[in-house]
Structure 1
Amino acid sequence: MVNPSPARGGESTAPHILPNEMEHDLDKRMATPPPAPAGSDVIADVVGDFGIWQLRTILIIFLCKIPAAWFMACIIFTGPELYPGSEFTCDTSYLTSSSNSSFSVSDNQCYVLDESTGTSSECEQFTYVSSFDSLIMQFNLVCLRDIFVAWTQYWHLFGVLVGGVMGTKMMLAISPRSTYCVGAVAQILCGVVTGYARDFSLHCAFRCLSAVCCAIMFTAGQAIFADITAGMHRIGAIILYDTFWSIGVILLPGLSSFFNSWSLIYVGITFPTVMLILLLYWTPDSPRWLLRHAADRFSIDNVEEIVREGAAINDRTFKIPPDFRLQLEQLSERLKAQPPPAPWTELWKGKRAKTHMVAAHLALAFFVINFMGMLLNIRSFGRDYLVPNTIAMGFSEIIGCFLALHFTLKHNKWKWQCAGVFNILAGILGCMGWIFTNADSMDADLKVSLWMIIATIPKAAVSCAQSMILACMNELMPANKKQLFVFSVVTWARVWLLSAPFFNVLRKIDTAMSLTSYCVFSILGGICTSLLLTPRISVSPVVPHLEPSNTKEQSPLNAPVWTVESDVNNTRL
């Protein structure tokens, strides 16, 4: 009810509202809160960009990189080099010889010479004298060790390629947490079969399947922690993802020392995955994936429970709005209504798009070949130095990841150029192995130390650039092209990764040859990385020009602010 009240001098005034009507109007407004802004994200507002909840999830997911590294690098210790004469000899008893025939064996124990006819043939039976039952002994690969080790490693890397694609496609229908669990369970089964396979072809097949499972796990795991973090915290988490891979490389020599058989090593690197399955109890699912695929109210309930738990652990329950459920439903509808990603041909359109496409694809291909191949190449420096060299490689990878984080945080404008120049210089240093490769008079320990110095620096540079590209390459494309661009670059690089094991065969020519090939890749990758440049677009607020209402001197607080339109074309080199 509105009661007009008389005013002095007969002037009318605004109507007064009775107190009970004011209270009723206030209750009505509180009962119907205003809708959330169209671009708001209630999940990020409630749990924050980073907190204890995200940190716990990240550390749990990062652990899956450790068995992935073990399965990739275990060939260093399951198939070590055997010394001819002292650890294996050719057994000529299988030859049916006449009374006037005699046989001699070559120094490397791989060829048998029939002295009566002058013909030679490959040795088919060996006698082993070794305390370690290696994969090489199991399948009689001593004379073809390098090529068959490269062959089994090829199938592992093929599994990584297939697993990355399969994990991405699985997450179109299965939640990332469920995908991760499927990969972990399958990896335990395939890992055990890989260790106890007594046929070389079967061993390669299950090694490939084990790699598929590892790739599914770390692909799904990244989808989870990338969804619950934001901003530089997300970039930092992706950059440091490979540090746990390096920790696995560092731990592998110690783990292998507990076993005297290659089969037991496979069992040892497989069963820690059981712990990862148990830790899934404290690992949330991707909330936005659940909202995007929500079919009923129970899916929304699940997301609400996840986000409320994250807010409680991060001590941000005060951020939960009264209409929390409604905002989750609105976010779900917006995620479902998102347009489909752009087709692959659209990735080539736009300013600097062709440069970024070519440079990013080539750079990551060069770096992943280098990253995997150079680790396996430490076998070229001698079996007696495998343990310290493996540990040194692991630490160099960790240093490279932290350098990538430093460049991204402190030199974000020119981070690509920092990583590129670092790889070019490190690659040039690595090519200097030719200076002392034929120095036979040099002390063996000193020579190996020099080899490792010129190998670990390029290794750190490659780790730096690779982790930076994986974390930041989506900055190079608009929002509707990011996902397809990342998938295209990573898949292309993993296709070329299949060639990495075969470059190690070049060590048969010279130790410096295989190392130089990887360092050339480092230089080429550095050049391609230097061509990348993140578009820098800033939006300056437009402040209207206000005319002074009087002739008094205008206050500086009310003075017009002159803005300069940001140069959106400054991405040209």
Structure 2
Amino acid sequence: MSGVLRRGSLSFDLNKGRGTSEANLYGGYRETKPAPGTPEISVIALDFRRYSDDLKKVVAAPAPSAAGEPPQDPTRHNPPTDLSQDVDSDVISNFLGHYTRWSFLWTFLLCLFQLPTTFHLFMFVFQTAPKDFWCAQPANLQQMNLSEWRNLSQTADGCLLLDVDYTQLILEDGKLTNWPANASDLGYRQCQDFEFSDNEALTLVQEFELVCGRDILSLVETCFLVGAAAGAVLSGWISDRFGRRHTLMAFVTIQSVFGGILAFSTSVAMFMSLRVIIGFASMTVTVVSFVLVVELVSGKWRTIIGILNILPVAITYVLASGLAYLIRDWRILQLVISWPWLIMLSIWFWLPESPRWLLAQGRLDELCGLIERAAKTNGTSGTLPHNYRKTLEAAVPRAVQPQPEANSEEVMGASGSPSAAQLDTHRSGHVNPLLVVFGAKYWRTTCLTLIIWLTLIIIYFGLTLHLSNLGGNIYINNAVAGTIEAVSICTSILVVLKAGIRRSLIGYMLLPGICCLATNLATSQTGVIALATIAKCLIGANNAIIPTYTAMQYPTMVRNFGVGMGNLASGIGLILVPFLWHLERIDALLPLNVMGVCGLIGAIAICLMKDVN
């Protein structure tokens, strides 16, 4: 094989013109020679441009022409596309293509995994929707006018009740008798039972009476987010160790089963415990499905598909608003968003593993089977080279290649125990991803990524989960915001095409921050809601782009862990979001001001991201 084998890591090539579509959509992803001391776990690519006859489609020599006729140009017959000549290709894309019929099928199905995850996160907004409440009327005063009862017996917030023996009161002909003359001097006591408005809609707050002194909604919400933070990091290690396919489907099962069990919670403690498990599973599904999607395609399609993979999130906001409006019982609603998704398990057997992960692990038998099935689906089985397995064998990282047997003196020490060399070889099969992402080459990128994801999530979910805090109809506001965000995500592809992925991220981080700060200048609540909705839609586009941008920073064997580190920061941000809105007790616009500052900090962090040539 005359192709030149080169090993390298993900980097950004700024030599290509910024204004070209290829450079902007591709994000500058290139394979370069690693710096000295870099662990050899990087993505592998083959430079087939040096006339590799093994993989190039050899064009037959032109037949002799008749006398006097010029020889025919073999290139005029539109030969099949030769990806070995494409600078965006790696060893996998030369056999699978950048984006084919097979890739479209599986990236579309994998995008659907974002739906149940978003349902479990976002439906909590409707399951705990605020309701008007008051101290319950005693049995002997049920016929009393509600307004009169509230004005006469309790404080304005509905938490304290006048310390009166209500069993001695008598209601006759709408008039209350035996009311103590000194009632105002008797003081107040805590309400033991509550009544709520809109009895047709049963929420978690109403069933467990999470009001007044028992208002622990922020803590209940945090349980899911703590699980999500843990899943953000551990999911990366699990899928890097055991593969994307089985990790994804196993946690989809956990998510659906425990999500259904949640609907039968008998106490707040049970609800909170199950939410931790569901949060862990949901974040794992989010991270692993995204990484699998971007590893099934290559070239500029990684950016396009990576962004479109987040589109179902915005669509789910609209669907969730409609479902919550139609189904007002939180238990039935929980069942609807959980158990139907068990149907996704039907594709477990056919779901492909990440071909790049298989190559990085040296599992060539599975990889070859995957390539042949993909070629059959694409109708390109006839163009698959007979000796392509040799090319793959040459591209397997040394760390996972079979080691030749050493002499007995080298393998066993004097005491009969394995030597240090043998132990190092045994351990080399799986590199510690934490040492890589915080190693000399990636520590700066990782630290800036943590800052970017943290500030992004504080803005995005601060507005997404608490848009109702600003007033208005909770169903209409979230449906409109979800629709606009979906359009914003689709539009962001064109923005990335024109401005480049890094410049787009800066704009989509800076503008939401300015919108949040501009709420201080709004003269009405409608203006505040409008600016917050615009900020949410713009930051939603950033939320769609940032996973792809992060995935481009790390090599295959730690890419999932690298994205997981970003999700760790997002998990911390998610935990802070419920408590951020407690600041509105000091000033109604203080939470939005904090988000505005986060937008400025995030934009600066993106500007400081180092492009590796």
TM-score relative to the length of structure 2: 0.69
Of residues 261-270 and 477-486 in structure 1, the stretch that sits farther from structure 2 once superposed is: 477-486
Instruction: For 1:398, give the aligned amino acid.
Output: A
Contact 1:374/1:518 (CA < 8 Å) preserved in 2?
A: no
Q: Which residue of 2 aligns with 1:363?
A: 452
Instruction: For 1:373, give the aligned amino acid.
Output: G
After superposition, give the CA deviation of every residue in 1:319-344 in whole Å (9 maximum; x if it has no partner): 31112344444445657248946764
Picking from 128, 131, 136, the partner of 1:90 is 136
Report the CA distance shift for 1:75/1:507 in structure 2 as closer, same or farther (over 3 A): farther
Picking from 188, 201, 206, the partner of 2:256 is 188
The reply on whether 1:380 has 2:457 as its aligned counterpart is no
Instruction: For 1:381, give the aligned amino acid.
Output: L
Of residues 490-499 and 204-213 in structure 1, the stretch that sits farther from structure 2 once superposed is: 490-499
Picking from 517, 523, 533, the partner of 1:431 is 517
Output the CA distance in 1 between the equivalents of 2:230 and 2:309: 20
1:118, distance to aligned residue in structure 2 (A): 4.5
Instruction: For 2:538, give the aligned amino acid.
Output: A
1:288, distance to aligned residue in structure 2 (A): 3.5
Q: Which residue of 2 aligns with 1:411?
A: 499
Q: Which residue of 2 aligns with 1:219?
A: 287
Q: Which residue of 2 aligns with 1:22?
A: none
Instruction: For 2:381, give the aligned amino acid.
Output: T
The reply on whether 1:164 has 2:213 as its aligned counterpart is no
Report the CA distance shift for 1:248/1:368 in structure 2 as closer, same or farther (over 3 A): same
Q: Which residue of 2 aligns with 1:136?
A: 205
| SS of residue matched to 2:99 | coil
After superposition, give the CA deviation of every residue in 1:188-209 in whole Å (9 maximum; x if it has no partner): 2211121210210110110111
Output the CA distance in 2 between the equivalents of 1:324 and 1:509: 66
Instruction: For 1:423, give the aligned amino acid.
Output: M
Report the CA distance shift for 1:389/1:281 in structure 2 as closer, same or farther (over 3 A): farther
The reply on whether 1:277 has 2:345 as its aligned counterpart is yes
Q: Which residue of 2 aligns with 1:455?
A: 532
Output the CA distance in 2 between the equivalents of 1:206 and 1:197: 9
1:506, distance to aligned residue in structure 2 (A): 3.1
Picking from 262, 266, 277, the partner of 1:198 is 266
Does 1 or 2 have the higher relative contact order (CA < 8 Å, sep 6+)?
2
TM alignment of 1:227-306, pairs within 5 A: 227-293=295-361, 300-306=364-370
Q: Which residue of 1 aligns with 2:189?
A: 121
Output the CA distance in 2 between the equivalents of 1:65 and 1:209: 17
TM alignment of 1:385-404, pairs within 5 A: 385-404=473-492
Report the CA distance shift for 1:478/1:42 in structure 2 as closer, same or farther (over 3 A): closer
Output the CA distance in 2 between the equivalents of 1:345 and 1:499: 28
Contact 1:67/1:272 (CA < 8 Å) preserved in 2?
A: no
The reply on whether 1:73 has 2:119 as its aligned counterpart is no
The reply on whether 1:521 has 2:598 as its aligned counterpart is yes
Contact 1:163/1:215 (CA < 8 Å) preserved in 2?
A: yes
Instruction: For 1:405, give the aligned amino acid.
Output: I
After superposition, give the CA deviation of every residue in 1:190-244 in whole Å (9 maximum; x if it has no partner): 1112121021011011011112112222222223222221121112222222211
Report the CA distance shift for 1:485/1:184 in structure 2 as closer, same or farther (over 3 A): closer
Report the CA distance shift for 1:144/1:509 in structure 2 as closer, same or farther (over 3 A): farther
Contact 1:427/1:520 (CA < 8 Å) preserved in 2?
A: yes
Of residues 338-347 and 164-173 in structure 1, the stretch that sits farther from structure 2 once superposed is: 338-347
1:155, distance to aligned residue in structure 2 (A): 1.0
Q: Which has more radius of gyration?
A: 1
Contact 1:105/1:113 (CA < 8 Å) preserved in 2?
A: yes
TM alignment of 1:35-54, pairs within 5 A: 42-54=91-103
1:454, distance to aligned residue in structure 2 (A): 0.1
Q: Which residue of 1 aligns with 2:147?
A: none
After superposition, give the CA deviation of every residue in 1:338-370 in whole Å (9 maximum; x if it has no partner): 8946764874646xx776444332121010121
The reply on whether 1:320 has 2:384 as its aligned counterpart is yes
Contact 1:60/1:279 (CA < 8 Å) preserved in 2?
A: no
Report the CA distance shift for 1:222/1:256 in structure 2 as closer, same or farther (over 3 A): same
- Percent identity of the aligned residues? 19
| SS of residue matched to 2:98 | coil
Of residues 477-486 and 184-193 in structure 1, the stretch that sits farther from structure 2 once superposed is: 477-486
Instruction: For 1:90, give the aligned amino acid.
Output: A
Output the CA distance in 1 between the equivalents of 2:559 and 2:292: 17
Q: Which residue of 2 aligns with 1:149?
A: 217
Report the CA distance shift for 1:371/1:272 in structure 2 as closer, same or farther (over 3 A): farther
Report the CA distance shift for 1:319/1:44 in structure 2 as closer, same or farther (over 3 A): farther
Report the CA distance shift for 1:253/1:171 in structure 2 as closer, same or farther (over 3 A): same
Contact 1:376/1:504 (CA < 8 Å) preserved in 2?
A: no
Contact 2:107/2:296 (CA < 8 Å) preserved in 1?
A: no
Contact 2:239/2:247 (CA < 8 Å) preserved in 1?
A: yes
Q: Which residue of 1 aligns with 2:27?
A: none
Contact 2:114/2:286 (CA < 8 Å) preserved in 1?
A: yes
| SS of residue matched to 1:498 | helix
Report the CA distance shift for 1:278/1:219 in structure 2 as closer, same or farther (over 3 A): same
The reply on whether 1:464 has 2:532 as its aligned counterpart is no
Of residues 264-273 and 162-171 in structure 1, the stretch that sits farther from structure 2 once superposed is: 162-171
| SS of residue matched to 1:107 | coil
Report the CA distance shift for 1:324/1:479 in structure 2 as closer, same or farther (over 3 A): closer
1:533, distance to aligned residue in structure 2 (A): 4.6
Q: Which residue of 1 aligns with 2:14?
A: none
Report the CA distance shift for 1:408/1:144 in structure 2 as closer, same or farther (over 3 A): farther
Gaps of 5+ in 2: 1-52, 57-83, 141-151, 164-182, 402-428
1:83, distance to aligned residue in structure 2 (A): 1.7
1:257, distance to aligned residue in structure 2 (A): 2.8
Instruction: For 1:249, give the aligned amino acid.
Output: Y
Instruction: For 1:108, give the aligned amino acid.
Output: D
Contact 1:63/1:244 (CA < 8 Å) preserved in 2?
A: yes
Output the CA distance in 1 between the equivalents of 2:92 and 2:505: 34
Picking from 54, 58, 63, the partner of 2:112 is 63
Contact 2:468/2:474 (CA < 8 Å) preserved in 1?
A: yes
Contact 2:229/2:280 (CA < 8 Å) preserved in 1?
A: yes
Output the CA distance in 2 between the equivalents of 1:203 and 1:343: 33
Output the CA distance in 2 between the equivalents of 1:286 and 1:481: 13
Report the CA distance shift for 1:391/1:184 in structure 2 as closer, same or farther (over 3 A): same
The reply on whether 1:307 has 2:371 as its aligned counterpart is yes
Aligned residues: 474
Report the CA distance shift for 1:349/1:224 in structure 2 as closer, same or farther (over 3 A): closer
| SS of residue matched to 2:153 | strand
After superposition, give the CA deviation of every residue in 1:116-141 in whole Å (9 maximum; x if it has no partner): 76443332211235111111111101
Contact 1:347/1:485 (CA < 8 Å) preserved in 2?
A: no
Output the CA distance in 1 between the equivalents of 2:349 and 2:482: 30
Instruction: For 1:80, give the aligned amino acid.
Output: A
Report the CA distance shift for 1:404/1:349 in structure 2 as closer, same or farther (over 3 A): farther
Report the CA distance shift for 1:495/1:514 in structure 2 as closer, same or farther (over 3 A): closer
Report the CA distance shift for 1:404/1:483 in structure 2 as closer, same or farther (over 3 A): same
Report the CA distance shift for 1:390/1:282 in structure 2 as closer, same or farther (over 3 A): farther
1:480, distance to aligned residue in structure 2 (A): 8.6
1:375, distance to aligned residue in structure 2 (A): 0.7
Instruction: For 1:219, give the aligned amino acid.
Output: V
Contact 1:476/1:534 (CA < 8 Å) preserved in 2?
A: no
Contact 2:448/2:609 (CA < 8 Å) preserved in 1?
A: yes
Report the CA distance shift for 1:522/1:91 in structure 2 as closer, same or farther (over 3 A): farther
Picking from 547, 563, 567, the partner of 1:490 is 567
Of residues 153-162 and 233-242 in structure 1, the stretch that sits farther from structure 2 once superposed is: 233-242
Output the CA distance in 2 between the equivalents of 1:293 and 1:373: 40
